[in-house]
Amino acid sequence: MKKLSSVSVLGYGAADTANSMTISTANLFLLLYYTDVAGIGAAAAGTLLLVVRIFHAFADIAAGRIVDHSFSRRWGKFRPFLLFGFVPLVLMAAAFNVPDIGETSKLIYAYVTYAAFSMGYSLVNIPYGCLIGAMTQNPRDRARLAGARTIGGLLCSSALGIFVAPLMVPGNDLQRIFTVLTVIFVVAGSGLYFFTAAVTRERVQRDVVKISLAQSMTALRGNKPLLVLCTSSVLFNTGAVALNTSQIFYLRDVLDLLYLYPAVAAGHVAMTLTLAVAAPRLVHRWGKRNMYFSGGILGIAGGLAVFLAPTAAPIVGVIGIFVCLIGSALVNILVWALVADTVEFGQWNTGVRAEGVNYSVLSSTRKLGMGLGGALAAFALAAGSYAPDAVEQSQSAMLGIRAAAGLFPAVLILAAVAVMFWYRLTDKRHAELIVEIERSRSLD
């Protein structure tokens, strides 16, 4: 298959910049917004994040079925959905504008807007994720696309860390900041989604364009690599999101180094860009599975450093954050290429190529991890009696923040790495499957 053009790779990455305008904003700031701006209690906010993100997991499954049963002769199977990317962007803007209508009414509004955003995001993000497997079957090109996706998402998330996070201090009009930010994202993000739809192409041949529910279930049945990857992902994502959610609290309230947040974000950008560029070569030499292990080991080491960093040496905690973020970035680059490989495994095993259901199952487990990770951070704050307006947090509150940012991620990532030992779909085996699929098609 012809090598992908640089424009198509760039275009693929652009949509994840738009994705990040919603999902990264939610992961980084929604808990802070609910507690410090909307006035929702930490425990109630944690329950909200857990409930809605579990709903989001099921929304991904529903979106996967819709995608599998859809097809456009002009645009293909996945690209048409990107044209509706403005919908989740608008809904996220609504989620960050909770009106002052009483405690119960505010909570209801928060549930409704965040749940509506989750459904809209699934209907855009699931087909976007499936697109990587439809554009190419070449391992290095898939690594290029996965790297472009990581870079695209990082451009937005790093900007949030560098320019927005330092504004999260008492005295600033946080509601106005979030309102302006989300309106800008609606306009810019909609344009990026359209650009991706315009410059990408679905080139991998498929024998069935509209897949029935029975065929989707058949494709899933016996797909052990996908099951292992999903189990590992939910554990890894729970730990990573717990760190991401509590990172701003950790730097501000434990280390008293909030001014370093932009430097941490900038360093994260530089290191992730380096990894994204190097990923195809690393994959070619060591394989995706081994590089996944390497990212997990970094995450474990970084989490322990964050949790154990002495007050007298806060630099240990900062370094721990860096190390954990590098490990998380490496895994997040690889996971999109790994799930594309499981599509071919299912096709080889059953004869049905079902990108939608494969990707949606992985994405739903990652959303479940987001829900559990966000809730874990919120409950740790609540257990430590975190006080939003306090000039200095209590020792119990700081211990809760340390656990959410370091201990919990380390333990969960360790479990995720252990699970991946059962992932047997190596790059060599995947190449053999491609040959067998093509041979079977030629015989038909």
- Does this model's pTM top 0.75? My answer is no
**Other C-beta atoms within 10 Å of 361: how many?**
25
Contact between 258 and 159 under an 8 Å Cβ cutoff? The reply is no
Question: Which residues partner with 72 through β-bridges?
Answer: 76
What string of pLDDT tens digits covers the 444 residues of the chain? 567 888 999 999 999 999 999 988 987 889 889 988 998 888 898 889 888 888 888 888 888 888 877 777 777 888 989 988 899 999 999 999 999 888 889 999 999 999 999 999 999 998 998 888 888 888 778 878 888 888 888 788 878 878 888 888 777 899 999 999 999 999 999 999 999 999 998 887 765 556 666 666 766 777 888 889 999 999 999 998 888 888 888 888 888 888 887 888 778 778 878 887 887 788 878 888 888 999 999 999 999 999 998 888 888 998 999 898 889 888 888 887 788 788 888 888 877 777 777 777 887 888 788 778 888 888 888 888 887 767 777 888 888 888 888 899 999 999 999 999 999 888 888 888 888 887 876 665
pLDDT at 20: 92
Res 166: pLDDT: 84
Task: Return the H-helix or E-strand segment holding 386.
Answer: none
Please, which residues have CB within 8 angstroms of residue 391's CB and are 6 or more apart in sequence? none
- What's the pLDDT at 356? 72
**Alpha carbons 55 and 370: distance in angstroms, whole number:** 11
Q: How many Å apart are CA 90 and CA 23, to the nearest integer?
A: 13
Is residue 337 within 8 A of residue 288, CB to CB? The reply is yes
Biggest CA–CA distance in the chain, Å, is: 72
Contact assessment for residue 339 and residue 205, using Cβ atoms and an 8 Å cutoff = no
For residue 257, which of 325, 327, 308, 317 has the smallest C-alpha distance?
317
Question: In DSSP terms, which residues pair with 293 in a beta bridge?
Answer: none
8 Å CB contact between 264 and 251: yes
CB 291 within 8 A of CB 283: yes
DSSP codes joined into one string, 222-267: T-HHHHHHHHHHHHHHHHHHHHHHHHHHIIIIISS-GGGHHHHHHH
CB atoms within 10 A of CB 7: 10
- In one letter, which amino acid is 375? A
Q: What is the CATH number of domain 6-202+210-443?
A: 1.20.1250.20
Question: Alpha carbon of 21 to those of 16, 152, 312, 355: distances in Å?
Answer: 8, 10, 36, 25
CA gap 369, 259 in Å, rounded: 29
Q: Measure the CA–CA gap between 18 and 270, rounded to whole angstroms.
A: 20
Provide the β-strand partners of residue 76: 72
Rounded alpha-carbon distances, angstroms, from residue 279 to 17, 86, 144, 310, 333: 19, 31, 7, 34, 8
- Backbone angles phi and psi of 392, in degrees to 5: -135, 130
DSSP state of 76: B
CA distance 326 to 28: 17
Quote the CA–CA distance of 69 and 77 in Å, as a whole number: 9
Task: Compute the distance between CA of residue 101 and CA of residue 38 in angstroms, rounded to an integer.
Answer: 10
> What are the residue boundaries of the structural domains of the chain, listed by start?
6-202+210-443
Q: What is the pLDDT, as a whole number, of residue 353?
A: 74
- Counting every residue written for the chain, the total comes to 444
Q: What is the pLDDT of residue 15?
A: 94
